[in-house]
Chain A
């Protein structure tokens, strides 16, 4: 059960190799989370094994990896149901999977763009709905959906990614509203530029942060019961302004 100060006891991570999600989970384990289930494409991969070891080292008692393919929407209900049946209630489910992709490539390969959109949006829709139905049944729990500031305003150099996150963000907010009074909640996390494997070699945007910094902001916002968490928090103000720039100006600002 989630306690009065936002500490949880069990977490399911969809996209269990996400560095942001792992950093968040590490902090939750430090507080008192004991069960962590990592849903990943390949449960036997070395990277997942390393994550599991780290989490155990920090105090988690049950750490398991299960197979999850974001593109296989038709499997999501079963995979999620099995996880809940096997491990019991989840106090928190983090939906963290997604691909960034390269806009140049997408421009020349529309099929690749469609696959990215399916992963980031379609797969998140099917898995989130499956999670929501289990959270509703248990009468408590939080689904944390990681979107991106890239979805707040689309940009010429990553609008495929940005638009999938915009769709996901809108979906998550609506899902959250539909869960009012069910005991379950949705929290939307909007990180800015994060230094991770996903962004390696890219030029950092202003207010770029490490996944540790992002995770600190997320855990703080989560503890306070926030429904939308900007990470770092300053981005709430920055994007409050950027959102309203005239398009001609936005094109200049966002061009890098």
Chain B
């Protein structure tokens, strides 16, 4: 099942332990097709293939850090598909390196990062994951293995970027990893009393920061609607970080400090408890703070400190709704946030960010504009019709929903939200005419 634990299905699960075993899995695919899966951090049904074969890649996880080239600001890393950002960071950071893009969790694999073309807090500056690839190796439906990149069969490369596993099994990729000055970030925090002020802060100031994201309280209504805490920063230099790191400039420790208890009473999270949490969290944030030193886990992966947190939503599970709409459609953004607040949609802090330009991948999610992501427990009454209505507003504004997080959008809207869908289909049909690669997401959305 997906991270939201909502629509589990059954399949024949294989867990190859070597690259050779991984490649041998394909010819044994069942009639209902095959799908590669990483750490299962997509929220909905993207990494499920009901009644078919699913290959979990997480044991095929070797990676090599190449020699650095003098004068280059990046170092190449070749990683097998199942390598996680978590494991890579443990090796990279002590050598003064980082991943080009990290999502809000480090428990994602290289394969999953490519298939969803993931983005992070630096999208406005650095774009998404696949823009930092030299090349990738892909096993196609006929069993052959090809190496593709932005300069080698670019159509197939970009169809695989954000292609949700439907063009082939990603075996390996070579990634350009940036150098960092230390393992600490220099972070500025600003508290914004309402939506307009946070949008204004981001529009006017994001360009000065490598990383930027706002946490927005969607349960606040009236004049505080859209109140947010904006955190922005960059990696500190060795000297700047010294007060915290001493001479150990690249010290990196990341782990799980608490686990979610095995039994969660249903309804633990309700309107009152979430509202109280959001209130407390907003009040405790400083109105304005400059140059605070933060660790990588605190700045990038705060949720990873609690193991299995996705279970706190109880047996009903939860979903994540994430969209992007173009700059210039702020009226739609305000309307959507207003409707969410009015519906009292029980949501922990949602995340608001401004994206930079998109890339050539037809199914890549990010595009210049505002993106908002929020978790919602599935038990909220009237949630289905509400989100359908909001999807329509997103589509009308020229925006789209993130497939890696979707678990409920209508198939009819995919073509509107991803106008280059047919281009992507043409490439998919070229390399997989018999639809060997299948997923529940692909079935649900008729990709």
Give chain A's interface residues, CB within 8 Å of chain B: 1-7, 9, 31-32, 89, 137-140, 181-184, 223-225
Contact = CB atoms under 8 A, between A and B. Distances in A.
Contacts of A139: 9-11, 32, 49-52
A9 B387 CA distance: 17
B407 A140 contact: no
B10 A183 contact: yes
Nearest to B54: A139
Interface in B12-50: 32, 44-45, 49-50
Nearest to B43: A4
B51 A183 contact: yes
Nearest to A185: B8
Contact of B408 (A4, A137, A138, A225): A4
A4 B378 contact: yes
B88 interface: no
B258 interface: no
Contacts of A6: 384
Instruction: From A2, A7, A9, A139, name the one whose CB has the most chain B CB atoms within 10 angstroms.
Output: A139
Given A140-B51, A224-B316, A183 B408 contact: no
B379 A224 contact: yes
Contact of A2 (B7, B49, B51, B315): B7
Interface of B: 4, 6-11, 32, 44-45, 49-52, 315-317, 319, 378-379, 383-385, 387-388, 407-408, 410-411, 440, 443-444
A183 B444 contact: no
A4 B407 CA distance: 5
A182 B10 CA distance: 5
Contact of A1 (B32, B52, B319, B443): B443
Contacts of B52: 139
A140 B384 contact: no
A223 B8 CA distance: 14
A225 B6 CA distance: 9
Nearest to A134: B51
By secondary structure, the B interface counts as loop
Contacts of B388: 32
Contacts of B407: 3-4
B379 A4 contact: no
Contacts of B11: 139, 183
Given A2-B7, A184-B10, 8 more contacts: A1-B45, A4-B7, A5-B384, A9-B444, A140-B9, A181-B10, A183-B50, A224-B316
B346 to A, nearest CB: 15
Contact of A4 (B9, B49, B317, B410): B317
Nearest to A182: B10
A8 to B, nearest CB: 10
B32 A4 contact: no
Contacts of A223: 378, 384
Nearest to A9: B444
Contacts of B44: 3-4
13 contacts: A3-B407, A4-B4, A5-B387, A31-B384, A138-B50, A138-B51, A139-B11, A140-B7, A183-B8, A183-B11, A184-B10, A224-B316, A225-B315
B251 to A, nearest CB: 40
A189 B89 CA distance: 51
Contact of B7 (A3, A32, A137): A3
A181 B13 CA distance: 13
A5 B44 CA distance: 11
A2 B9 CA distance: 10
Contacts of A183: 8-11, 50-51
A31 B443 CA distance: 17
B396 to A, nearest CB: 18
Nearest to A31: B384
Contacts of B7: 1-4, 140
Contacts of A32: 388, 410-411
Given A7-B408, A138-B51, A225-B315, A1 B440 contact: yes
A84 B410 CA distance: 23
Contacts of B408: 3-5, 7
Nearest to B320: A4
A89 B317 CA distance: 24
Which 6 A-B pairs give the minimum distances between C-beta atoms?
A: A183-B10, A139-B51, A139-B50, A4-B407, A4-B6, A1-B444
Contacts of A9: 411, 444
Contact of A138 (B32, B384, B411): B32
A219 to B, nearest CB: 10
A3 B43 CA distance: 12
A7 to B, nearest CB: 6
A4 B383 CA distance: 11
A78 to B, nearest CB: 20
A139 B11 CA distance: 6
Nearest to A180: B10
A138 B378 CA distance: 25
A252 B314 CA distance: 43
Contacts of B387: 5
A140 B316 contact: no
Contacts of B4: 4
Given A138-B32, A139-B11, A4 B319 contact: yes
A225 B317 CA distance: 10
A182 B408 CA distance: 22
Contacts of A225: 315-316
Nearest to B383: A5
A5 B388 CA distance: 11
Nearest to B10: A183
B186 to A, nearest CB: 39
B378 A137 contact: no
A198 B51 CA distance: 38
A96 B118 CA distance: 45
Nearest to A30: B385
A138 B443 CA distance: 12
Nearest to B51: A139
Nearest to B387: A5
